[in-house]
Amino acid sequence: MQNLIEIGNKTLGHLTKKGSHQSLVNVSNKESCEFNIEANKVNLIRSTFDQGLSAKVFIDLKIGSSFNNQFNESSIETLTDKAIETAQASIADEANIIAENQGQHYFHNNIEEQDSDWMNSLLSQFLEESNRLFPNTIIESSVLKFNKEQNVMLSSSGSLLTSLQTNYEGFVMFTTKEGKKSSSFNYSYFIKNKDNRPLMETSGLRELIQQSSEQINVRKIPNKFTGDIIITPACIGDFMNSILSYIETGHLLRKQSFLQNKLNEKVASSLLTVRSNPNSSEFANKLFWNSEGFLVKDEVYFENGILKNYLLSDFGARKLKEKRSVSSGTHLVIDTGEIEFLKMVKSIKKGLLVARFSGGHPADNGDFSGVAKNSYYIENGEIVFPVSEVMISGNYSQLIQNIGAVSKESINFGDAKFPWVHFSGVTVS
Amino acid sequence: MDWNLNQNKLSGSHYTELRAQENRAFHLTMLNGEINVNRNSKESGVSARTLINGSWGFASHPEIKKDSIENVIAKSIKNADDLNRFKKQAEAFHFSKMKGAVGRKDHSFSQNKFSEKELIERLSFFDNIIAKKYPKLINRTVNFRGQNFLKEIINSENAETFEHYCRSFLFFSFSMDGQSGPVELSDFVGGIGEIESNLPEVSKFEECIDELYRHLVNKTTGVHAEAGVKEVILGSNLAGILAHEAVGHTVEADLVKGGSVAKEKFNQVVGSTLVNMTDFAHTAYGEICPSPVYFDDEGTIATDTILIDKGVLKSFMHNKESAAEFGVIPTGHARAWGFSDEPLIRMRNTAVLPGEHHLEEMISSVKDGYYLIDPSNGQADSTGEFMFGVRSGYEIKNGKLGRAILDTTISGVAFEMLKSVTMVSNDMTWNGLGHCGKKQMMHVGMGGPAIKCQMNIGGV
């Protein structure tokens, strides 16, 4: 860590000497070791070491930045020259202000050494169980990875933030194949610390692989309808990230959001509460500060359907004369509800259980459409059959108002925690 | 730039490849005349990958020096040995041994580089043209983006290659208020080469933005498409993404081994006889493709792969390992994005080949359907089911273009949809802006003509 601080201080010194009025420097290094699975077999062990040095420069309300992954003297010279040149050439904007002093803090989270034997044992057990229970399912393009990451942020305002964390990260993808038939692929991911929980019991994998084994025999829905959908925890994150994009700097700065000027208004069902909890002890991975140099805190975006905060950067907040977000837009949590998932299904006369969504970019007015993948037709309170070639269409503004229920149960992915959510008024075709 | 990797001897009885690489990127964006993104980056390092008794080991380090090179080679061997130790029993494995590629390719067209000030002045120049011509826009975004990839590779089969690929673009996006909220469209000019050699003439730029503005104005009164299976004309920009998503991914050999439905369709009819599809290595019809690959990241000479010939599926795409397993010659599809990434089976320049029809006669042949022009994102599936977003299109009623449509999504099952192809236009467009995401990012080219077929379209 001391080495990273020295490099950061040296870079700050160079920037000041070369004419930067205010500067922000991030220095990092990361060691990873990854076990890769192809076609049900571990076929590669990959070790990587990387590092990064970024400089952000403020000169007369102009900003420039540069990034390199080399720490030698000539690279630091080149990086600082480039950052200064970029800032000097830029256009002044009163919103370009460096983050104020965040103090001096050292953060750490779950420091442990890589255990390759445990990684191998976890994967071997998982592959053996998958092969035994679901012999036609192929685990492919999957990884289990150990990460050890050190980060340092220094600024001319006086901030010195340092962090060290380790964790295990996984991505598991699978397809079932029987004769000439293939299921749609599905996947889940997790970030966790070393524990005794089998991989099959992590991030809903057992249920998803079980579903994959059933999705060999899919059917088309009987007819087009407008009705109910339940979105699973593994899928709701994609929807929520799309919805949150409408309260982010990009949309709001362009004044192209259906949530523009709706702060403190009821824009969604009372059942919807969405938070960003970057410091939560529930998560194996944490975030301590953002790219603008601010410490991040927990924050609520929608509380009982009321839009409480925008997800604005400091730059965006100054442009719009609004409050900046104190969180990060990451580590999302949707608060759970009162009803069990199975009772939620029972309440639906005709609908869809959506386990993966493959959609186009939503429109500025909130319109979205895409293919419901790995999904099931629901009729008279029963999950009836897995579907094929089903398109769902709707509007996010309407969707968040039309929430029928949120499940009691939820899944913790290690950097996000989501329940099942029941929406109505979606076109299924 | 050269790292002289050939000074490093790759000894031992096992296969090893060594790659030194540098990726550079810059991104400058103006929103309504104000800069809101201005950054550049450079990442470099060295990696080694070793195969011992069917187990791969890989290691990378950011410093390209004698000791770090020795260390990554040693670590990659240790990782392969560790994996063999973890295996309970030895497994049969396949690997194509062949003479490695030797050569150099440089697309950088070196010349005087713009200073940061000159870059911003030029971006402002194009932004001012838009601001003056179209005062009714509620937002205009212009940006310059550039990428450089420098790679030097050696392997224990005597490959020695160096490649410098670069591409750069001027990208522009317009927004207007429409009947059902703001609507947006975007386009770009550029391709292979540095930004200094890729800026358009003013007349060419005005031609592009006039066309974009015309479609945007039409979209302000656009309607939702009617949901369901429809007869559509996919414009040439969509045919490229069709080639990539609908067919390309399903015939990558790693996905074939992972359960793709294409496995049983080899040498089978998968489309109408009008359908021909090729993954070009670097050159098509005498022109350099948007993402040319002369030798891949395993040191294999890259050659074209005919995927579909007159409706029959003819080939999968391979790296050395899968080629040996399938008993074919590798054609150079192993590609890695960054120095610390391992090569994966990737597409290069995937295209539907032109046919004999004219776009006008294709549109006039549709009684009730859609002409779809501009794609956004896309995704493939092991079942062959694919989807892509559509940002620009029109209704076709009785052979005539009608109202513009709002953003939508289209989907289909590749090897069924291709059988519905009844007309293919005689022109072809390449899109060189594309990125593919499959564990790692990768720059790819996509191309094609206009196609008449049946598709499922999202809407009301």
The tens-digit pLDDT sequence of chain B (460 residues) is 678 887 777 877 789 999 999 999 999 999 999 998 999 999 999 999 999 999 999 999 999 999 999 999 999 999 999 999 998 776 777 787 788 999 999 888 766 789 999 999 999 999 999 999 999 999 999 999 999 999 999 999 999 999 999 999 999 999 999 998 899 999 999 999 999 989 999 999 999 999 999 999 999 999 999 988 999 999 999 999 999 999 999 999 999 999 999 999 999 999 999 999 999 999 999 999 999 999 999 999 999 999 999 999 999 999 999 999 999 999 999 999 999 999 999 999 999 999 999 999 999 999 999 999 999 888 889 999 899 899 999 999 999 999 999 999 999 999 999 999 999 999 999 988 888 988 899 999 999 999 999 999 987 7
pLDDT tens column, A216-235: 999 999 988 999 999 999 99
Chain B nearest CA to A408, separation (Å): 32
CA A76 vs. chain centroid, Å, equals: 32
B376 contacts B198 by C-beta, under 8 angstroms? no
Domain identity same for A244 and A344:
yes
User: Distance between CA atoms of B30 and A192, rounded to whole angstroms?
Assistant: 40
Cα B329–chain centre separation: 23
Distance, in Å, from the CA atom of B110 to the CA atom of A115, rounded to the nearest integer, reads 48
B19, B21, B26, B38: best to mutate for the A interface, most A CBs within 10 A: B38
Chain A residue nearest residue B460, CA to CA? A427
The answer as to whether A397 is a domain residue is yes
Distance, CA of B214 to CA of B11 (rounded, Å): 62
Whether residues A203 and A311 share a domain: the answer is no
Element at B129 (helix H, strand E): helix B116-133
Buried b (16+ CB within 10 A) or exposed e, A79-103: bbebbbbbbbbbeebebbebbeebe
Q: Pick left, alpha or beta for residue B311 (phi over 0 → left; psi -120 to 50 → alpha; otherwise beta).
A: left
Flag whether A54 is in a domain.
yes
CA dist., res. A185 & res. B385, Å (int) = 10
Cα–Cα distance measured from residue A322 to residue B151, given in angstroms and rounded to the nearest whole number: 46
Are residues A138 and B258, on separate chains, in Cβ contact within 8 Å? yes
> Of the candidates A177, A193, A214, which is a domain's last residue?
A214
Q: Where are the alpha helices (DSSP H) in A182-254?
A: 205-214, 233-244, 249-253
With vertex at residue A169, the alpha carbon angle to CA B254 and CA A120, rounded to the nearest 5 degrees, is 70
Domain ranges of chain B: 5-220, 228-457
Tokens linked to A145:
């990875």
Q: What are the DSSP calls for A378-390, one per residue?
A: EETTEEEEEBSSE
Residue A164 resides in a domain: yes
Closest CA relative to residue A57, chosen from A327, A321, A293: A293
Listed in sequence order, the DSSP H helices in B388-451 are 414-417
Window 362-381 of B: residues touching A by CB (8 A cutoff) are: 376-377, 379, 381
Integer Cα distance of B59 and B72 in angstroms: 5
Query: A90 vs B120: CB contact, 8 Å cut-off?
Result: yes
Q: Which chain A residues touch B263 with a CB distance below 8 Å?
A: 177
Distance from the Cα of A270 to chain B's closest Cα (Å) equals: 25
Residues 408-437 of chain B with CB under 8 A from chain A are 408-409, 411-413
Q: Do B139 and A255 touch (CB under 8 A)?
A: yes
Tell me: the pLDDT tens digits for A142-170?
Answer: 999 999 999 999 999 999 999 999 999 99
What is the three-class DSSP state of A381? coil
Shortest CA distance from B177: residue in chain A: A256
- Minimal-distance CA residue of chain A relative to B141: A254
Q: Of A290, A255, A121, A265, which is closest to residue A197 (Cα–Cα)?
A: A121
pLDDT at B10: 80
State the Cα–Cα distance between residues A292 and A24, nearest whole angstrom.
8
| pLDDT value at residue B432 | 84
Q: Are residues A57 and A14 in the same domain?
A: yes
A264 and A405, same structural domain?
yes
Within this chain, do residues A204 and A261 fall inside the same structural domain, yes or no?
no
Most A-contacting residue of B41, B76, B140, B177 (CB-CB within 10 A), to test interface: B41
Torsions phi, psi for A89 (to 5 deg): -80, -15
Q: Per DSSP, what are the bridge partners of residue B371?
A: B233, B394
A376-379 and A350-354 beta bridge pairing: antiparallel
A232/A154 same-domain check: no
Provide the number of structural domains found in chain A: 2
> Who contacts A383 (Cβ-Cβ below 8 Å, separation ≥6)?
A345, A353, A376, A377
CATH number of the domain where residue A164 is located = 3.30.2290.10
Contact A69 B377 (CB under 8 A): no
Burial of B227 (0-12, 13-18, 19+ CB in 10 A): buried
Task: Give the residue numbers spanning the domain of A333.
Answer: 225-428
CA–CA min distance A2, chain B (Å)? 19
Report whether A119 contacts A146 (CB < 8 A).
yes
Nearest to A89 by CA among B119, B125, B146, B29: B119
Of B157, B451, B165, B428, nearest to B281 by C-alpha is B165
Residue B107 has phi, psi (to 5 degrees) of: -105, 15
Return d(Cα A313, Cα A294) in angstroms, integer. 10
Pick the last residue of a domain from A214, A237, A254. Answer: A214
Closest by CA position to B385, among listed A223, A426, A181, A40? A181
**Residue B342 in contact with partner chain A when CB distance is under 8 A:** yes
- CB contact B83 to A (< 8 Å): yes
Sign, CA torsion B306/B307/B308/B313: positive
Is B252's Cβ below 8 Å from some Cβ in A? Answer: no
Which A positions 200-229 lie with beta carbon below 8 A of chain B? Answer: 224
Q: Is residue A220 part of a domain?
A: no
Q: Are residues A320 and A378 in the same domain?
A: yes
- Single-letter amino acid code for the residue at A117: D
Which residues on chain B are in Cβ contact (under 8 Å) with A67?
A: 39-43
- Same domain, residue pair A42 and A62: yes
Q: Do B376 and A391 touch (CB under 8 A)?
A: no
Give the model's pLDDT for residue B1. Answer: 66
Distance between CA atoms of residues A5 and A160, nearest Å:
9
- Choosing among 3.60.20.30, 3.30.2290.10, 1.20.140.90, 3.90.650.10, the CATH entry for B5-220 is 3.30.2290.10
Domain boundary among A148, A181, A214: A214
Q: Do residues A33 and A180 share a domain?
A: yes
What is the predicted pLDDT for the residue at B111? Answer: 67
- Identify the CA nearest to A376 among candidates A188, A230, A236, A240: A230
Q: How far is CA B302 from CA B52, B298, B331, B336, in A?
A: 25, 10, 5, 14
Interface test with A, best of B40, B50, B55, B232 (most A CBs within 10 A): B40
Flag residues of chain A having pLDDT under 50: none
Cβ-contact B239, B448 below 8 angstroms: yes
Task: Select from A41, A48, A115, A172 the residue whose CB has the most chain B CBs within 10 Å, as the one to mutate to test that interface.
Answer: A48
Give me the total of CB pairs closer than 8 Å, taking one residue from chain A and one from chain B.
251
Residues 269-308 on B with a CB inside 8 Å of A are none
pTM of the model: 0.95
